Amino acid sequence: MLKNKEKRQFIQDEVLTTPEAIELLEISRARLSKMIKDGKITPAKKLGCVSLFWKGDVIEKKKELVKLRKQYRPFEN
């Protein structure tokens, strides 16, 4: 069983808040809300306006967004 310090470290390393996810994905809050509504990304936990995301899920979504940006916005590269 994990000790409290290890649990806190795990959460700090593996869980992202909404602002952290927005920054990592380089998108707006509105875009993230739409992605959640459309089922393109799922919060690990949602309480009212606060959402928590698994870091691994956000990183995978970031890779997908980068690929799509290259495909549909070649002028930005």
pLDDT digits (tens, 9 = 90+) for 6-65: 999 999 999 999 999 999 999 999 999 999 999 999 999 998 888 999 999 999 999 999
Q: How many CB atoms lie within 10 A of CB 34?
A: 13
**CB-side exposure of 30: number of CA atoms within 13 Å?**
0
Euclidean distance between CA atoms 41 and 47, whole angstroms: 16
pLDDT bin (cut points 50, 70, 90) of residue 77 is low
Count of positions (residues) in the chain: 77
Q: CA-CA distances (angstroms) from residue 69 to 25, 39, 48?
A: 12, 19, 31
Quickly state the pLDDT bin for 74 (edges 50, 70, 90): confident
**Which element (helix H / strand E) includes 38?**
none
